[in-house]
Amino acid sequence: MEPHEVIRVGGAGNKIIQLVEGKASAYVFASPGCKKWDTCAPEALLHAVGGKLTDMYGNAYCYNANVKHMNSAGVLATLRNHEYYVSRVPQSVLQALKSD
């Protein structure tokens, strides 16, 4: 990916708000570390306004009681054009992450 600008803000929820407010085009977290409890509510908010949150492979995250807490395949969230951003994830990033 070749960003025009990188906006640094803390918290998955705050990053999703940047998308909803039109201040950012994508939220890219290309490493493990973000947990399901970090993305569950922000994903619901994003989904309510037509956005999408997946792992870096484009797979939806599940939030049932039997899943691992770690989003080990990173996080990719967008308000629009999600498939475009998934297609731009470098193979080297995908190879470094485990698909859930």
Tell me 61's DSSP state: P
- Residue (of 82, 78, 98) closest to 30 by Cα position: 98
Q: Which residues are annotated as a binding site?
A: 38
d(CA 76, CA 45): 15
Contacts of 15 (CB under 8 A, 6+ apart): 9, 24, 27, 42, 77
Q: Which residues are annotated as a binding site for Mg(2+)?
A: 38
